[in-house]
Structure 1
Amino acid sequence: MAALDQITGGRCVKSLADIFSGSNKFVIMKSSHIPGKACMELPGLVCGDLEAPVKKLAVTMTLTECNIELAGATGVDAIIAHHPVVDAANSGGVNMRGYLDLYGLSVFELHEAFHGLHPGIAYIHGHQAFRVDIAYGNIPGNIVYVGRALADVPTIGAILDRLNEFMGMGEEQKMLLTEKNVRDCNEICETNVATGGKLLVGSRENKVGTIIHIFPHTGFTAQHLARIKQEHPEADTVIASISRVREDSELVNKAAELGLNFVVGNSHAMEMLENGLPLAAALHNLLPAVEVVLFRERITSTPLYRVGTTAIRNYADYIAREYLINKARRYE
């Protein structure tokens, strides 16, 4: 907890007063106004005992039951999740405390409190940010960078090539090809490969000077883009990363209207390397006696008829036919 507070410059929750007094601006409610689905971010310890010993620590992006099971099976004592943690949603549909206690796990979270602490995402995308706003338009979490292209990143093509190099896209493509060969299925897709960098407006040869770097899923709109272009009229390029946009989105249309190049950068699936890896490195530095590991996920898409073994597919067909479709049988 002390290490996380040092890393964030004191942004972690350290008492109940931090939660309910409004004194910690990183205690934030997130809601789409779907009944019962709101979430409060609590940077710091979410579940566990501050006195519990930690010999092995895992850093992950989003806590899932797969994370909990892997931690339990590999001797992890505590998990630090970047994204906020919610009962049941991040613990396999069951109460979090009971599940974590089963394996002696503590869980921390560090989301908005980690944002804006380092220039790494801008650097990976080929620019040095001279302006960072983590609440653009007074919207918490609506992060915007404005930066100048690095000397060795003179063009749009250089940005795309840099992303491929930093994120090891060649290795990711080899991993996918290996899985396709092992499973004898050429139709498998995988997130990192499917969501690589892409140019939506402009050409690879276009020069790059000042970059507006946005994260569309945080609430950044076409109106925001028009406004920040007025604030930085010298800007020539937009990079959208973490989340992506479609070619016909309002943001892309507005960029074209404003004469801006538009590049789709790393997807959210790559944030483990952009934010998770620096966090893990900082923890390793501050806690040298603790083993630090990263939990990475590979999400694949496989046609139904090729999933698993023949035995498990036959099992699924039997259960679906006899118990889920044909209600003549009952299971109680």
Structure 2
Amino acid sequence: MKTIHPQHDVGSVLTALNAITGGRVVMDWNEVTAGTNPYVVTKTSNIPGKSVIEIPGLIFGDKQKPVRRIGVGMTLTESVIELASGMQLDLVVVHHPVADAASSGGVPFANYLPLYDLALIELHEAFHGLHPGVTFLHGHRKLKTDICFGGIQGNVLHQGVALEDVQTVKHIVQRIDRWMGRHLDEEVLEAERRIRGEASLQEANLMNPVQVLSGDLDSPVKHVLHFFPHSGFTVEHLKQALSLYPETDTIIVSISRVREHSELVQYARRAGLNFIVGNSHSLEILENGLPLAYALEWMLPGVELFLLKERVTAVPLMQVGNQTMVEYGKSMAEQYLVAGREQAVHK
């Protein structure tokens, strides 16, 4: 006979997440207003009105709402909301912080999410540093992790040692491509190009492959520093890290990327270090989303879990394959957007 599991609600999901994160989740709104939760942080570029407060916990919905189907994703967008609607999900748990309207197609959560009876939880900094998966996928075993390096919340630094089967830079490059299933994404993209007739179609997971910006494929690897440039990691931070771990021979950056002319790369070259650019942010749904989804499945028996993978593509305008929509787009532009306005551009 099939086991009938007790019904879960949003509150029990929060309890599970609080257990998974070791008590980092906001369980009471007073933690936000009183400033007692260190994982409630403000992220800002000092652009007026564009800052966001990260609140690891329930953002929208009722704790008593029954939950049978949960979607786990990275970033909330209107596409994710519509996918959740079509799948009749009860709750979406996203890694990245959400912002009213910005994360929901330009409209407030209060107008949009109730239409689909959808609750929303975010985690971000509260989930960082909980598992060694990101370092494992990049070929090293982390020995130490600082999620506030240089006193900056979210500025994560891993210090580790290469796995037994990783001796060179080439081993790391091959490992990442193999574990992330790059060949599958390549096959899917080629098939879509043929089907749509869009020969130059590009896809986010494939546009930013692993790169070696200092050292060569045969360079030995043993002691690794691994960080994420978008978190505010600077050359001064790198100098500080190298003073703490002078045995370092390899730098790995991932999630965000740097270019060849980056000061970080130039400093690594002068120091004779390998510098590897690993997975892009597009792949974090596998690096962090998959472990989180399996953890929730383990903690909440009977709940259906879904991984919300948002795939982003780009195609040259002249190659858009759906001719009906090409004619639609041209007609709308010519009749309503540019008619009689050409001279304004050429003045």
Q: TM-score higher than 0.5 here?
A: yes
SS at match of 1:9: coil
- Which residue of structure 1 lines up, in the alignment, with residue 146 of structure 2? 133
Q: Which of 307, 311, 314 lines up with 2:320 in the alignment?
A: 307
Counterpart CA distance in 2 for 1:55 and 1:302 is 38
- The aligned runs of 1:1-332 (5 Å cut-off) are 1-326=14-339
> Greater shift after overlay, 191-200 or 280-289?
191-200
1:186 to partner: Cα distance: 1.8
Q: Which residue identity lines up with residue 148 of structure 2 in the other structure?
A: A
SS at match of 2:160: strand
> Greater shift after overlay, 174-183 or 305-314?
305-314
Q: Deviations over 1:292-311 (max 9, x none)?
A: 00010111110112225111
Counterpart CA distance in 1 for 2:249 and 2:237 is 16
Q: Which runs of 5+ in 1 are unaligned?
A: none
SS at match of 1:246: coil
Counterpart CA distance in 2 for 1:265 and 1:196 is 7
SS at match of 2:35: coil
Counterpart CA distance in 2 for 1:326 and 1:186 is 31
Counterpart CA distance in 1 for 2:21 and 2:110 is 26
Q: Which runs of 5+ in 2 are unaligned?
A: 1-13, 342-347
SS at match of 1:93: coil
SS at match of 1:59: strand
Contact 2:224 2:248 in 1 (8 A): yes
SS at match of 1:176: helix
Counterpart CA distance in 1 for 2:59 and 2:102 is 14
Q: Deviations over 1:264-319 (max 9, x none)?
A: 00000000000000000000001111000001011111011222511111111111
Counterpart CA distance in 2 for 1:39 and 1:207 is 42
Q: Deviations over 1:158-207 (max 9, x none)?
A: 00111011100110111111111111222111111111211111111111
Change over 3 Å in CA distance of 1:318–1:19 after alignment to 2: same
Counterpart CA distance in 2 for 1:112 and 1:161 is 29
SS at match of 1:112: helix
- Which residue of structure 1 lines up, in the alignment, with residue 6 of structure 2? none
Aligned residue pairs total: 328
Counterpart CA distance in 2 for 1:43 and 1:185 is 41
Counterpart CA distance in 2 for 1:243 and 1:14 is 31
Q: Which residue identity lines up with residue 252 of structure 1 in the other structure?
A: V
RMSD of the TM alignment (CA)? 1.0
SS at match of 2:252: strand
SS at match of 2:187: helix
> Greater shift after overlay, 184-193 or 256-265?
184-193
1:27 to partner: Cα distance: 0.5
Contact 2:224 2:251 in 1 (8 A): yes
Change over 3 Å in CA distance of 1:203–1:11 after alignment to 2: same
> Greater shift after overlay, 100-109 or 315-324?
315-324
Counterpart CA distance in 2 for 1:11 and 1:25 is 8
Counterpart CA distance in 2 for 1:161 and 1:36 is 43
Q: Among the aligned pairs, what percent are the same residue? A: 47
